[in-house]
Each structure stands twice: as C-alpha cells, then as structure tokens.
Structure 1
Amino acid sequence: MLKLVIGNKLYSSWSLRPWLVLSHFDIPFEEEIIPLRTPESRGRMLEFSPSGKVPALVDGDVTVWESLAIIEYLAEKFPEFAIWPQNGNARAHARAVSNEMHSGFQALRQACPMHLGARFATPQITEPLQAAIDRVEDIWSEARNRFGGGQPFLYGAFSAADAMYAPVVTRFDSYQIPVREATRTYMDAVLAHLSFAAWRDAALAEPWSIPDYAAGHTLVESFV
C-alpha cells in the first residue's frame, strides 16, 4: 500500500496537497505523521525523503518527494482518475497555475502561514502581499470562468489544482483577507469539501503545537 509521510496537519500546507488528492479519489494509503520542528524531525524525515522534508510518498521501492511531484506520480499511476482535468486546454492551464503556486507567492506564505487552529486579525496588507492576493484571485477567476462550467471548483470537478491551492484558501480564511465575492464562493466550496473537513478535524485533534506559527499575529479565535 502507498504510504504518505506528512507533517502536522495543523500547519503543513505542503502535506495537505497530496493528501487531499489521495483522499478525494479514494486511493488507498496509509499516513505517517512526523511532528515538525522537534529535535528528531529532520532525522525521521530523512528516513523517507532525501530532502529531509515532508511530504514524501513511498510506493514499494519508489520514493517521491515534493507535493507537485507526488501528485504527478499519482496521476500517472492512476490514469483512471481525473486527477488533472480531462480537457487538454484546461489540463495545461491547471498544470501552469499549480506550478506557479508551487514556486511562488512568497509574500503570502511569509505573511500568512497556514494555521488551521485559529483565526487572526487581518495583517498589514503590504504591496507585495496585495499583489500575491490579486494574482491568486485572478487565477481562480480565470480558471472558473474559462473551465469551471458553473461548478464549484476551478475546473469543474475537484482536481489537483484545487488541492494545490487549498492551503491558500485556508490562509485567506484564517487571516480574514478581504476578497471578492466570487473568491469567497470558491473558498467556501473548498472548506466544505469532505476530504478537507476530515483533514481539519484531524488537525484540531493533534497533540502538537508550534507557537511560532502564530507569532506576530493578533489572535481573534482559537479552535484548539
């Protein structure tokens, strides 16, 4: 059986992405959680990932690390599932924006780390942060308008692209980022997704806490 090695569900945005794909498409797998930022974390991660980071997918003698690489591996291994959109134009667009997410949006990542256990006051919206927010909203709007077919997700049905952007949905929600009405509609669809709800419920039940993830932010509401 596949094994997905992940970090704390409360904070690990990179781990959330492939986990959502596996869960949504009902692909059997087992998970192993390695708590982040402990003295043992890196050593344990190196047992599964040469980068010393999570997530990592173990499939027999094959190991794949990095969220997007894991998702691509799953798409090749399970072609019966529409992990990427079936329409060629939509699939190309989905891959492009997913790669953009994988490599970019540093201002958003730094200003609003994923934290599913709390809601915070809106941080100062600097020019780089606003540019990142605008770009994300434009990506979501274009995908849904061109390829969504009036359905809740970016390309109609839930796909790898939605999994790649799910952590951004949580960031916008947790930090109460002002967004367009259409953006909020899409966010609500992701937050209500059964697989995401299962991840969040498990996250809130975890015994680990990393105070640094809340540092510099004004707590409005705690869920843990």
Structure 2
Amino acid sequence: MSAYELVIGDKSFSSWSLRPWLLLKVAGVPFIERNVRLRQPDSREQILTYSPSGKVPLLLTEGFEVWDSLAIAEYIAECLPEKALWPRDQMARARARAISAEMHAGFPDLRNELSMDILNRHPTPELSAGAARDVARVQEIWRSARAEARGGPFLFGHFTVADAMYAPVVTRFISYNIPLDPVCRAYADVILDLPAMIEWTVGAKAETA
C-alpha cells in the first residue's frame, strides 16, 4: 500500500493541487489520489474531513497531515533525497528555493487576471500594469534559470520542485495566449509534453464529462 495519500481539487483549475501531484508523478512516487470537487456548497465541509486548513492540497502520510503545496514539496524532497527534487548544487538549490518561494507568495495580479483554466483557450487579454509585470518577471526567472541549467531541459536541468511550482503558470500562459520568447516557449513545451501533465489534462476532461 502507498505511504502517501494526496487530497486535491478539480484538475481544471486547482493550480495548487497540480504542484505536488506533478512532483510525485514525475518522481515516480506511488500515491493514492483523493479528489474533492471545489466551488460546491459542501466543498469546505468535504475538505475539512481531511485537512485542518480547509484547503487543498493535503498530503496524508505516516499518520499525520502536511498541507500547503510548498510544504508538501519540501516534505517529499526530504523523505526522498535520492530523487534530487531540489538541485544538488548548493547555489542552484538556494536559487530554486528562492524562485519557488517567490511563486508561492507572489504574482497576485497574474493569478487574478489569468486564472488557471486548463481546458480552455482565450484571446490574449489586456493586462493591468501589475499583471504585465508579473508575466515579465516569470519569463525573466525562466530565462535566467535556463541560461545556467546543465544536463536537461528544465529550470535547473532535471525536474525539480521549482518546475512543479511553475507548471500551473505554463498552463495559464497557454490558455490566455500570452506571447513567449523562444526560450520560454521551449520550456513551456517541455512542461506540457510531460506524460504526467498529459495525464492531468485527461483527468480534467474526465471531471467535466
């Protein structure tokens, strides 16, 4: 039996759920998936049966709960050091943690104006100045990381927590047809082509069928 159970929300729009789900999938870690439909009258009640925070995602393991996407990622990385879910190089690891924390805590205008909508495609919206800055900053982060990456197509070469943290933004940029330079477009394509991302999208379609 799997040592991990992951409680998530709707795959169409639960960006926070995607992050630890994708991390576990790409790392090849078996887990039991529990789904709670969001935006329903009883959603919070249903989530509270699992999570003391009343929010998803939540990782159930070893007899206790870990909530919050970044906390879950840190826990998984600590439990499975052989997976190298943070870069092994100290400076790269610090950079990966910094940009992951920046995504976790920042980009409010991007979140508000480009909400995750993985199954649909929209015309490019007219962004506020704040959202435009957020979009530019994300692409700056991607370009900088890719310029220093070694040994693979992800932000730090191989897939890490940082890629899981930015994967939902990739889907937002595609859903809203946000212009990407060649480096950022290539990175976005790498994320979208992951078998796990394809599986997530198939799951989103099944939820709405």
Q: In the alignment, what sits opposite 2:99?
A: 97
1:123 Cα shift?
0.8
Q: In the alignment, what sits opposite 1:210?
A: none
Q: Is the 8 A contact 1:149 1:155 kept in 2?
A: yes
- 1:203 and 1:94 map into 2 onto residues whose CA distance is 28
Q: Name the TM-score, length of structure 1 as normaliser.
A: 0.90
- 2:76 and 2:170 map into 1 onto residues whose CA distance is 23
Q: Give the SS at the match of 2:59.
A: strand
What amino acid maps onto 2:84 in structure 1? Answer: A
Q: In the alignment, what sits opposite 1:190?
A: 191
Q: In the alignment, what sits opposite 1:211?
A: none
1:150 Cα shift?
6.2
- 2:106 and 2:112 map into 1 onto residues whose CA distance is 11
Q: Give the SS at the match of 1:80.
A: helix
Q: In the alignment, what sits opposite 1:7?
A: 9
- Identity among equivalent pairs (%): 49
Q: Is the 8 A contact 2:151 2:158 kept in 1?
A: no
Q: Give the SS at the match of 1:32.
A: strand
- 2:12 and 2:147 map into 1 onto residues whose CA distance is 32
Q: Give the SS at the match of 1:135.
A: helix
Q: In the alignment, what sits opposite 2:138?
A: 136
Structure 1's unaligned 5+ residue stretches are: 208-223
- Which has the larger displacement, 75-84 or 159-168? 75-84
Q: Give the SS at the match of 1:31.
A: strand
Q: Give the SS at the match of 1:64.
A: strand
Structure 1 stretches of 4+ with a deviation exceeding 6 A read: none
1:125 Cα shift?
2.0
1:2 Cα shift?
0.7
1:181 Cα shift?
1.5
Q: Is the 8 A contact 1:144 1:150 kept in 2?
A: no
Q: In the alignment, what sits opposite 1:152?
A: 153
- 1:131 and 1:175 map into 2 onto residues whose CA distance is 16
As a proportion of its length, which structure holds more helix?
A: 2
1:55 Cα shift?
0.1
- 1:77 and 1:57 map into 2 onto residues whose CA distance is 13
Structure 2's unaligned 5+ residue stretches are: none
Q: Let me know the Cα RMSD of the aligned residues.
A: 1.1
1:151 Cα shift?
2.7
1:137 Cα shift?
0.6
